[in-house]
Structure 1
Amino acid sequence: MESLALIAVIIGGLLALVFGLGLLALLVVGMRFATRDLRAQWRRGRRNRAADPRDWAAHRGWQYTADQEHPPLGVDTFLGAHGRWKQYAGIVHGTVRAFPAASWIQAEGRGNTRQPVEVYRHRVAALKLPYELPRVSLVPAEDPISRSVANRLNAERRVVLEHAHFNEVWLVTADDPRSAYSVLDPRMMERLLQPDVAPRPSLRDPGRDQTRIRLIGNYLVAWRSLRTDVDHLDDLFTVLGDMSALMPDHLWQPRDR
């Protein structure tokens, strides 16, 4: 009887230990989930504070401007779905593949300049090409905002390409689907599926390093959600430079004649 009682005590202790460890694990997971947004915001803040656009520009022989009223390179476009005012700061400008290039922090918001309500703040990278591009936009297909936009605002402008995997990764919209087909040929799609540019979903921070690309007027524009640092600019300008080299001949050849 004593041995049975001892075994019962041991089993009870083990069950209590397992229950305690399970409860602790649930508590840790719950705390990590509850503080996910705070931790992501802290990481972005630390990363953005550490970056210095003046050093980045000086190291590459580019110019730096603290702020200006007019859009750098003349790129006058809103990055968010809604906006009434824009501000430009931390501007660096130089050349990429002999094309004028610039990057800046673009803040957008509602209201007026006296009572502004900031909504978006991203660091933008742009190239100015010597020919006009069709209006095409690429955003991560799995981003919650992208899905919302796809279902409501841009449903009629969405372009479905013949590359199934590309459609899973990117949500493409265009004023004219034919223009998207001509620009996003197999070589361009292959480049945009490379790890340095293709969206990388993260459970910890869904918006982390999500690249967005826009072709508008004479400009190739790219930015990554919520990032205002310069540590990722070399990657963005590499992508934009590669895209400029892959543009179809019919866009630029007539201008050389």
Structure 2
Amino acid sequence: MDSALVVLLLAVGLPTFVALAWWLQKKRHEQLAAWAAATGWEYVRSDPGLGLVRLHRNQPFEQGHSRRVSEVLTGRWQGVPAVSYTYEWSTGSGKEKKTYHAHVVALALPAYLPVLELTAEGVGARIAKALGARDMQTESVAFNDAYRVVAGDQRVGHAILHPRLMERLLQDDALGTDWRIEGTWIASWRTGRTDTARIAPRLGVMHAVVRGVPRHVWQDHGYDPLTHGAAPNG
């Protein structure tokens, strides 16, 4: 192809591509803002001072470089402070650079709790366990087959994952939902950018977990749901 023609195509195509990308991003912002307005949430786009890039540890956080958050939505779920955002990071550089995204949804906890992480069983989890990764076992074979469990404090982990909660987490809407209690948050993540259709279902699962934490576990960590007006669940 004639070099002049190549230059012409690039000259015409690049501005068109940039304009299309800008338009698509603008429409996405409008859609997210409309979702927030319809649900009583707020669309703030970037980190609203929560330190979201450093809020959580372990997967998918603290990987690679150039970490940032975007498409931030804040609000309340069943009266509990909640946040949704797109987390982005990169690996490699130059031609080897790859960028990844995860849609994170999180609920604030009323007190600090030890790490408790559930990830859906799959090839990755099986490989991790074969390499010696931790996997806390419960008395439920079905639950053990469905999830890999990592607990910072196994006593607390077993107390939280009581039979009623495990039964709830084996329901169709919960299966396949990865989540982690970490400090004063419970967070769920999924590959890809923010999907507003998935916010409510994932918050519903995490809220069930929080509601399922036994009263004595909260009390051991300086919080009493009776004193603070919430019904105990264990």
TM-score (norm 2): 0.73
**1:144-170 Cα deviation digits (max 9, x unpaired):** 222222222xx3521011100001111
- Structure 2 residue aligned with 1:58, among 28, 32, 37? 37
Aligned residues between the structures? 194
Report the CA distance shift for 1:99/1:156 in structure 2 as closer, same or farther (over 3 A).
same
Query: RMSD of the alignment, in Å?
Result: 2.8
Aligned to 2:173: 196
Q: Match of 1:105, as an amino acid? A: T
What pairs with 1:91-240 in structure 2 (closer than 5 Å)? 91-110=72-91, 117-141=97-121, 143-152=122-131, 155-199=132-176, 211-226=177-192, 228-240=194-206
Q: Match of 1:235, as an amino acid? A: P
**1:104-163 Cα deviation digits (max 9, x unpaired):** 001123358x9994453111110111111221111111x2222222222xx352101110
Report the CA distance shift for 1:84/1:225 in structure 2 as closer, same or farther (over 3 A).
closer
Q: What percentage of aligned pairs have identical amino acids?
A: 28
- Kept in 1, the 8 Å contact 2:119–2:179? The answer is yes
Q: Gaps (5+ residues) in structure 1? A: 1-48, 200-210
Report the CA distance shift for 1:101/1:107 in structure 2 as closer, same or farther (over 3 A).
same
Report the Cα offset of residue 231 of structure 1. Answer: 1.1
Radius of gyration: which is bigger? 1
- Kept in 2, the 8 Å contact 1:80–1:120? The answer is no
- Kept in 2, the 8 Å contact 1:139–1:170? The answer is yes
Counterparts of 1:115 and 1:94, CA distance in 2: 39
Q: Gaps (5+ residues) in structure 2? A: 1-27, 228-234
Q: Match of 2:130, as an amino acid? A: N
Report the Cα offset of residue 84 of structure 1. Answer: 3.7
Higher fraction of strand? 2
Report the CA distance shift for 1:88/1:241 in structure 2 as closer, same or farther (over 3 A).
same
Higher mean C-alpha displacement, 69-78 vs 170-179:
69-78
